[in-house]
Amino acid sequence: MTATIIDSKIAQRRGIGRGALKVSGLGLGTAPLGGLYRDLSDAEAHATVAAAWDAGVRYFDTAPHYGNTKAEHRLGDALRAYPRGDYVLSTKVGRRFVPRVTPYDPNDGWQNPLPFEAIYDYTHDGILRSFEDSQQRLGIVDIDILLVHDIGRVTHGDRHPHYWRQLTEGGGFRALDGLRSSGAIKAVGLGVNEGAVILDAMAEFDLDCALLAGRYTLLEQATLGDLLPACEKRGVGILLGGAFNSGILARGVGGDLKFNYGTAPREVVERVARLEAVCASYDVPLTAAALQFPYAHPAVSTVLTGARSADEVRGNVGSFSRPIPAALWSALRDEGLLDRRAPVPES
């Protein structure tokens, strides 16, 4: 097998926060390594990480939630083959995992998860314990970025004020600040699917970054009006997840119509069909436009893509690197499919 030629855009590093930490242009998200929708073998997980490494990916994100701790085990086992100083690693806090005592709900989306269940805990001690548990599961002491996972009304509904108080009055933010000040971690942030809670957190605490999934994509750009300008002004780096909006921008209208982890509504399917038609008229795969568009915004430090195989990694690498004519972006604007304020990639 020939070695992958590393594309300069993939390996290029952008900073987050005001520190020296920098992440590669393309990152690997590991929810698929936890068995999201379909499980994979340990060998396939290792091959996925190896393909990302060979392509120049040097930022890897995981979470205890993925596969009920399975992804952390798999990612740590794979990454220990590489020099620790050569990559950036993030994981998340906010859920502690204990041995399962209730039946597993398959609607959670994990195939063959490990036999643990989550207890939400954003308190001072809960954050510290979750961090230490992740170090153990990963088998890696030096975790670079710690993200508060799924805080917000989208996850917690009416319980959100309760968990928000755990972060504020209960000392969760204070625990993160202590870990950062001591040098145990280099950066702190949120890992969420909604923009409003990032703005709320920025008003309470000095964030370095935020992993935002699905809210700044080829399909939706509402965060251009408030969140992204605020992050750019404050130096809060956006770790852009969900560029495919849970899959619909990866497979188009002929694939599995997943949007925001559920079935795509009709208006979304119709909009994707229009995006796909414009891209096809310029001989540009929808996946290439979807991955490259968000990286043009100066607030975006990296674009994270999930993959469950080496082939999927190589497909994403090709999409991120593929030349796209400037005329495509103009056509998408003219069709009303792209916010005219949105920065676009250079041709």
Catalytic amino acids? 61, 66, 92
Alpha carbons 280 and 301: distance in angstroms, whole number: 28
Alpha carbons 335 and 116: distance in angstroms, whole number: 48
Question: At what angle are helices 70-79 and 42-54 packed, to 10 degrees?
Answer: 50
Q: Are 289 and 328 in contact (CB under 8 A)?
A: yes
Task: Pick the closest to residue 114 from 130, 137, 145, 139 (CA basis).
Answer: 137
The CA-atom distances, in angstroms, between 128 and each of 63, 125, 171, 209, 283 are 15, 5, 11, 19, 50
DSSP string, 102-157: S---GGG-BSS--SEEEEE--SHHHHHHHHHHHHHHHT-S---EEEEES-SHHHHG
Q: Which two tokens stand for residue 321?
A: 């690197």
Q: Are 340 and 333 in contact (CB under 8 A)?
A: yes
Enumerate the β-bridge partners of residue 303.
26, 240
CB atoms within 10 A of CB 154: 14
